[in-house]
Structure 1
Amino acid sequence: MKDRMLVYLTVEYSNGRDQILVGKSLQLLLQTVGRNGGKAQQLATSADGIPFKLTNALDIDTNTGMIYFTDSSKTFQRRQILFSAITFDRSGRLLKYDPRTKEVSVMYKGLAFPNGVALSKDHSFLLVAESIKMRILKFKVQDGGKGYVPEQLVQLSRIPDNIKSNEKGEFWVALNTGRESIQTDWLGFSIDPIGVKYDQDGKVLKQLDGNGGLTFNSVSEILEFNGTLYLGSVVKPYLGIFYA
């Protein structure tokens, strides 16, 4: 029965379009649901003739309806993430679904477990967490042409998971693992980041400290709304709330 279990790795509401976009990692598809619920409508199951294997995160351009999402691996599914890491799998893809043509195109391939994805406030670029390489990449929304290489915005010391933008156009990156090796600064205080907020140029604006505690292990996502931070995990049973 495990192969039939549904794992929802991302859910996004498209404001103004009255739809909820859902990425399912074990059903290997992208779906949409009306704001009042009902039966899900399948949007896509493959790109360039290659079926999705591990659809992960998505973001929506509310001006065009374009959906940007990641397929973390062409080889491994959600339950096989460890194998993806130890083999340094680089079959992940950044994809784009066009609601007008109802087609999926490949924006970039050869990524080492692309994870979170977030669109900039001006809709000109995307940030993508490349988890295995522990870095954040910056992609132009417009086609960069043949041989295009994305900019490395940030190199991290812990594995990034989801990325969420706030109303100011800043980005929260959840740091999922690495808390077993907590560092100290020059004054002897612990450095235990479970999330970092960046501006569009990769400058650190704020760091959320786990303080060495066990409560917020495996933080998968940080969402900022009206000055409050909401933390979630794909493997731990908690919802964390921080008041700024």
Structure 2
Amino acid sequence: MKKCVGVCSLLGAVAVLCVVAVVEGAIEAVELPGGVFGPESIAFDCRGEGPYASVSDGRILKWKGPHLGWTQFALTSPNREGKECDGQPQSEAACGRPLGIKFHPTTCDLYIADAYFGLLAVGPKGGLARQLATSAQGVPLRFTNALDIDPQNGIVYFTDSSILFQRRVWLLSIMNGDKTGRLLKYDPRTQNVTVLRNGLAFPNGVALNADSSFLLMAETGTLQVLKFWLKGPKANTMEIFAQLERFPDNIKRTDNGDFWIAMNSARGTLDTQTWKELYRGATMKQGEVKIPWIQADPVAVKLNERGEVKGMVDGGEGQALESVSEVEESRGRLWIGSAVKPYVGLIING
């Protein structure tokens, strides 16, 4: 395996941007079991074991190392018996399609956002996940997408990308300019779901900052990352955190409080210019952060809480990183998720 190249460039007087420049063939591919693809989201459990990956056939798989490989950990659908759960769009409604996953740091339960079965959780030993929420304020969850958990109180923040279009026809949401997505919270003490914001254009990844005073949410349809304040004088208000040149997908916070934002280039599916034309009414707003793109093929960017660029992954225009759904940083490694690839990517960072 070729080594990835780290490149640091000066941006302004003091800022230094470190780029992981990836050439084709430089990604270590942790292959999924035969026929399985689409490791959309990645998580590590309370013991640091994993990664776990949510995959196309409705399962959560656990990586046990090169000798044992992937094992089944959890399922989201009780309706799999007798079904051909092959990960294809026509089987998703019955077999489930888990997207965002995150372990609760205290209980060690795994919380799952399944596109068809809503918000679920499963215990540390895995198995069939139990449904926690399937609707919000009387409106069904039709495209549950991503989540994060407040370690202080166990509240789960998650997104429902559309109340009209399900995941198997996600492109229709974009082509129709759908803005029915919602940002939601689930309180485990009351078991209630609250709508924090609606009218969103394909809300996607969500991540809390270190003290849970705000969260970041990817609004894929507008190529923006939004900041929603949870505490302080700005509580319950939203503002633009970053304007991107590509489609933001999942967001994951690092141990030191930075955020990895996956940018799905979706090459061959819907080019960036087409997407921009659909939302050409969007304009720059006060306080918006414009990312200083210095790489030809940025597939992920790391930002700190102030919106300053701390790192970037350059896909090198190759196929290995043509569809990046998530970047999870753990112990000096970058684990790369994808909605379509048959493997989890691995980059030794540094």
TM-score by length of 1: 0.91
Q: Aligned pair 1:105/2:194, yes or no?
A: yes
Letter in 1 for 2:241: L
Q: Aligned pair 1:156/2:156, yes or no?
A: no
Q: Aligned pair 1:139/2:228, yes or no?
A: yes
Contact 1:217-1:236 at 8 Å conserved across structures: no
Instruction: Quote the offset at 1:39 in angstroms.
Output: 3.4
Within 5 A, what are the aligned runs for 1:1-244? 2=91, 3-27=93-117, 29-142=118-231, 149-177=237-265, 179=267, 191-244=296-349
Give the whole-Å Cα distance in 2 for the aligned partners of 1:39 and 1:178: 32
Give the whole-Å Cα distance in 2 for the aligned partners of 1:227 and 1:213: 23
Letter in 1 for 2:327: I
The structure, 1 or 2, with the larger RCO (C-alpha pairs under 8 Å, 6+ apart) is 2
137-146 vs 112-121, which moves further: 137-146
- Structure 1 residue runs of 5 or longer lacking an equivalent are 183-188
Distance 1:157 1:145, change over 3 A: closer
Instruction: Quote the offset at 1:215 in angstroms.
Output: 1.0
Contact 2:300-2:313 at 8 Å conserved across structures: yes
Letter in 1 for 2:150: D
Q: Aligned with 1:63: secondary structure?
A: coil
Give the whole-Å Cα distance in 1 for the aligned partners of 2:323 and 2:208: 24
65-74 vs 136-145, which moves further: 136-145
Give the whole-Å Cα distance in 1 for the aligned partners of 2:300 and 2:245: 12
Runs of 4+ in 1 over 4 A off after TM superposition: 143-146, 178-182
Letter in 1 for 2:105: N
Contact 1:118-1:165 at 8 Å conserved across structures: yes
Instruction: Quote the offset at 1:18 in angstroms.
Output: 2.2
Give the whole-Å Cα distance in 1 for the aligned partners of 2:128 and 2:243: 41
Distance 1:128 1:144, change over 3 A: farther
CA RMSD of aligned residues (A): 2.0
TM-score by length of 2: 0.64
Give the whole-Å Cα distance in 2 for the aligned partners of 1:155 and 1:39: 39
Structure 1 or 2, whichever has the larger Rg, is 2
- Structure 2 residue runs of 5 or longer lacking an equivalent are 1-89, 273-293
Count of paired positions: 236
Instruction: Quote the offset at 1:144 in angstroms.
Output: 7.5
Distance 1:43 1:206, change over 3 A: same
